[in-house]
Amino acid sequence: MPAWFGRRPPAGPPPSGPGDRGEADRDALARGEVPASTRARLERERARSLPWTSTLSVSEWALARSVGAEPVGLVMGSSVYHTGWSYLPSWQSGELEAPTRAAHAVRALALERLRQEASLLGAHGVVAVRLERSDRDWGSDLMEFTAVGTAVRFPRAQAVPRPFLATVGADDLYRLLQAGWLCVDLCLGVSVAYLATDWTSMWQAGSWTNTEVDAFTSATYTVRELAMRRLAETARAARADGVIAYDINLSVERVERGGGGQERTDHVLEFVAMGTAVVRADDRPAALPAAVVPLADRPPPA
Amino acid sequence: MAQEGAPSDLPAAALERLRQQAAPGGLFTSDLSVNEFVLVRQAGFEPLGLVVGSSIYHIGYQPAMWRQNQEMQVLTQATYHARELAMSRMEEEADALGADGVVGVRLVVNRYDWGADLAEFLAIGTAVRHAGGTSHRTHDGRPFTSDLSGQDFWTLLRAGYRPVGLVMGNCVYHVAHQTVAQFLRTVGQNQEMLNFTQAMYDARELAMERMQAEAAERKAEGIVGVRIDERSHGWGSHVIEFFAVGTAVVATGEASSLPAPQLTLALDG
């Protein structure tokens, strides 16, 4: 009878980390490094004394390997950030400088820490990067972003000082490489603005007739243009030919202002544009796809 | 092919069900879809039966220091132990069927109305056996487990790898509360909250380390399809649980026989 049979005794206490590493880890994070325990684990993973990890599904993993990209490890980065204040006169609208910088900084910190993990693994790039937000009630004005992706290495290519990041998955990487395109980097553009509701807007929004609320339309144009311009600037700086898998997102938060019969609802707009910058590597014609008629049942509409 | 004196901790009814299924001419059961069924058979395996393991578990209590980032080891261990009970019971069922392993394992935590700190841990999957009789068990003779679908199982074998186990790591962690002094330093400022960031790193790192240690113990080369989820069992916002899970794999030594992929365009859209 194999030894593992039967009602096993309770698993021992989970192997715990090397005591309280809080202080040293906070210092490392403040210096822009990943904590020592993370670094040590990734170095063991790189030396193959720990199994590699990958967020890719089996199909994506097999596809990545078929184009010579070896998945070397799951990489992460995260940051919890406190947003400061920007002062605007109560009736003024415009971009909020501190919140814009905060919204960019928290994402950039998470992404750069993920990139650093990829560097420690000797990777050339990271695919399938997901950036997720969590809202914490551990304090006021907090936001947390975590980036997760799979680092890949092209064993025949030279080492790079700065691995690329891409929001596209391994299947898209395959399609891109087939078509002669390379990923350059993940590009980000952010803008946060305050929109004070004036009398005209109040009148338009409360009207009984069909009316465009001009100030609202114009405010969404402003944040969108600023965010998209910033994304384009980072893509140009990376010498990209274009940006694909472009994802834009506007969120609107209500702010109640005033008192004593002067109440009004203002808004804070946050616009985030994110995409993967690509560059054309060669001029091969795109392969002709084979037309197929699947016999599979269609998945039900989501 | 229930081995003599084998699974001692399975209920009599379960043993009887497995005995009937394992008998020659026994009926197989499976929760694979038709597509998965066809592919698992194409990969040279036959489904033997749906296997389950479950445990209803009471999660204990542990006080936390208000101002300290710390692991809640009692709570971490609860998830470990309950998962271990459910998984090992499922493996025992697979062993009683003479299976090489279990595909499509789902590890579910249900909270019914049993009581405040009670949870059901349920592992369920389809036991399979290699039709050619080659053993695909792990190095210590256990049936392999994996959360791969039938499609993924086929692709993995074709690529020259095989699953050795569903591996997991978790960590329940208490995130310290801010002190008044810390709060005052952040008022109105754009600032990273290093104490919180460090807590997230510490908790995730422990979960990852444990998952990789489990895979190393099973002599795996790597872990595919890793998911890191943050979960909560109602411990309040300052207590978080990171849960990392994936399928540990090892090379079979055979070269990849995966057909070259082709670009296709479905004309049914």
Split into its structural domains, chain B has a count of 1
To the nearest whole number, what is the mean pLDDT of chain A?
A: 87
**Residues of chain B contacting residue A180, judged by C-beta atoms under 8 Å apart:** none
Residue B64: pLDDT above 60?
yes
Q: What is the span of the domain harbouring residue A169?
A: 29-280
**B241 touches B62 (CB < 8 A):** no
Find where tokens 């193959």 sit: A48
Residues 93-132 of A with CB under 8 A from B: 98, 101-102, 105-106, 109
Residue B5 pLDDT level (bands cut at 50, 70, 90):
very low
Position B2 in a domain: no
**Residues of chain B contacting residue A85, judged by C-beta atoms under 8 Å apart:** 188
Print the SS3 string covering chain A.
Answer: CCCCCCCCCCCCCCCCCCCCCHHHHHHHHHCCCCCHHHHHHHHHHHCCCCCEECCCCHHHHHHHHHCCCEEEEEEEEEEEEECCCCCCCCCCCEECHHHHHHHHHHHHHHHHHHHHHHHHCCCCEEEEEEEEEECCCCCCCEEEEEEEEEEEECCCCCCCCCCEECCCCHHHHHHHHHCCEEEEEEEEEEEEEEECCCHHHHHHHCCCCCCCCHHHHHHHHHHHHHHHHHHHHHHHHCCCCEEEEEEEEEEEEEEEECCCCCCEEEEEEEEEEEEEEEEECCCCCCCCCEEECCCCCCCCCC
In terms of Cα–Cα distance, which of B207, B129, B125 is closest to B168? B207
CB contact under 8 A, A66 and B192: no
Residue A274: pLDDT above 50?
yes
Q: How far is B254 from chain A (nearest CA, A)?
A: 15
Residue B1: pLDDT above 80?
no
Position A114 in a domain: yes
Within chain A, what is the greatest distance between any pair of CA atoms?
A: 82
Q: How far apart are CA A85 and CA A100, in angstroms?
A: 10
pLDDT for residue A9: 47
Position B4 in a domain: no
Q: How far is CA B265 from the centre of its chain?
A: 35
Q: How far apart are CA B174 and CA B199, in angstroms?
A: 8
Find where tokens 């914490």 sit: A136
Residue A1 pLDDT level (bands cut at 50, 70, 90):
very low
Q: How far apart are CA B19 and CA B11, in angstroms?
A: 12
Q: Which of A173-177, A228-232, B66-70 has the highest mean pLDDT?
A: A228-232
CATH of the domain at B170: 3.30.110.70
Residue B135: pLDDT above 90?
no
For the segment B206-222, the average pLDDT, to the nearest whole number, is 93
Q: How far is CA A6 from the centre of its chain?
A: 46
**B207 touches B245 (CB < 8 A):** no
Q: How far apart are CA B12 and CA A142, in angstroms?
A: 54
For the segment A259-288, the average pLDDT, to the nearest whole number, is 87
CB contact under 8 A, A65 and B159: yes
Position A6 in a domain: no
Residues 6+ apart with CB under 8 A from A35: A21, A24, A25, A28, A29, B198, B201, B202, B205
Quick: pLDDT tens for A13-38.
Answer: 455 554 567 788 888 999 988 999 89
Strand partners, A2: none
Q: How far is B242 from chain A (nearest CA, A)?
A: 13
**B241 touches B174 (CB < 8 A):** no
B65 and A CB contact within 8 Å: no
A70 and B CB contact within 8 Å: no
A54, A65, A148 ranked by CB distance to B228: nearest: A148
pLDDT for residue A220: 94
Residue A134: pLDDT above 50?
yes
ipTM (interface pTM): 0.86
Residue A11: pLDDT above 70?
no
Position A140 in a domain: yes
For the segment B28-54, the average pLDDT, to the nearest whole number, is 90
Token representation of residue B114? 């049993």
Token representation of residue A42? 């990734």
A292 and B CB contact within 8 Å: yes
For the segment B90-97, the average pLDDT, to the nearest whole number, is 92
Q: What is the span of the domain harbouring residue B64?
A: 14-251
B264 and A CB contact within 8 Å: yes
pLDDT for residue A249: 93
CB contact under 8 A, A41 and B209: yes
B180 and A CB contact within 8 Å: no
Q: How far apart are CA A105 and CA A227, in angstroms?
A: 14
A83 and B CB contact within 8 Å: yes
CB contact under 8 A, B198 and A136: no
**Residues of chain B contacting residue A4, judged by C-beta atoms under 8 Å apart:** 88, 91, 140, 142
Nearest residue in A to B5, CA atom: A1
Position B267 in a domain: no
CATH of the domain at A241: 3.30.110.70
For the segment A282-301, the average pLDDT, to the nearest whole number, is 78
Q: How far apart are CA B131 and CA A143, in angstroms?
A: 53
pLDDT for residue A14: 58
Split into its structural domains, chain A has a count of 1
Least confident of A12-26, A66-80, B24-38, B128-142: A12-26
Residue B269 pLDDT level (bands cut at 50, 70, 90):
low
B210 and A CB contact within 8 Å: yes
Does B157 or B140 have the greater pLDDT score?
A: B157
**A257 touches A226 (CB < 8 A):** no
B137 and A CB contact within 8 Å: no
pLDDT for residue A58: 94
- On the CB side of B187, how many CA atoms lie within 13 Å of its CA? 6
Which residue of B68, B190, B223 to mutate against A (max A Cβ within 10 Å)? B190
Position A292 in a domain: no
Q: Which of A131-145, A225-239, B126-140 has the highest mean pLDDT?
A: A225-239
To the nearest whole number, what is the mean pLDDT of chain B?
A: 87
Which residue of A4, A33, A50, A58 to mutate against B (max B Cβ within 10 Å)? A58
Q: How far apart are CA B148 and CA B154, in angstroms?
A: 9
Token representation of residue A104? 């960019």
Nearest residue in B to A74, CA atom: B226
Q: What percent of chain A has pLDDT over 70?
A: 90
pLDDT for residue A168: 93
pLDDT for residue B178: 84
Token representation of residue A13? 């206490």
Starting at the edge strand that comes first in sequence, how are the strands of the sheet with B222-231 ordered? A52-53, B222-231, B239-251, B161-174, B70-71
pLDDT for residue A7: 45
pLDDT for residue A143: 92
CB contact under 8 A, A14 and B151: no
pTM: 0.89
Q: How far is B58 from chain A (nearest CA, A)?
A: 13
Position B107 in a domain: yes
Position B261 in a domain: no
Quick: pLDDT tens for B228-262.
Answer: 998 777 778 889 989 999 999 999 988 888 888 88
